[in-house]
Amino acid sequence: MSLTSAVKVSRRIAEIGREGWDACAGNPDYAANPFVSFDFLDIVEQSGCAVERMGWGPQHLSVEDEDGQVAAVMPLYLKSHSQGEYIFDHSWAEAYERAGGQYYPKLISAAPFTPATGPRLLVRPGIDVEAARKTLLTGAVTLCERYGSSGV
């Protein structure tokens, strides 16, 4: 199945929808990971934990197939700080800023408030994984440039 070239950016996971998101996150090629499921990501948004005013601005990416069905997704957040992450980059941020750079905002693909590892470029079964991941990553880099983010 072919992908469209357009990458959609959603400010809430609900804009993508449970069925489409979980068709990608539930791919049997990945180990079951509740931290990238629609329900987990939706509840951290609905509870007010992973929202823009808390420094976790959802910027979830999705790509559709030629039939308009969600084919690949990437949980992505525009961060204005490093709280709620398990990457301890405060020293990096300070050093970057002392050198004249602006570390924030930054884009991260993560499961908020968890140290859980696992897949973040989620592709529905039957879709060309390499093409889908490339499309998602290109979208993330474009978004990074748009926001003047220090990186993804």
9-39 pLDDT tens trace: 999 999 999 999 999 998 888 777 899 999 9
Which helix (H) or strand (E) is 17 found in, with range? none
What DSSP state is assigned to residue 16? T
Q: Please say if the pLDDT value at position 44 is more than 90.
A: yes
Q: Please say if the pLDDT value at position 1 is more than 80.
A: no
60-65 and 3-10 beta bridge pairing: antiparallel
What DSSP state is assigned to residue 26? T
67-112 per-position pLDDT tens digit:
999 999 999 999 877 665 656 667 777 787 788 877 778 899 999 9
- What pLDDT score was predicted for residue 52? 86
Residue carrying the six token digits 């990437």: 74
b vs e for 10-39, b when ≥16 Cβ sit within 10 Å of the residue's Cβ? Answer: beebbebeeebbbbbbbbeeeeebebbbbe
Question: CA angle, 63 as apex, 57 and 69 as ends, to 5°?
Answer: 120
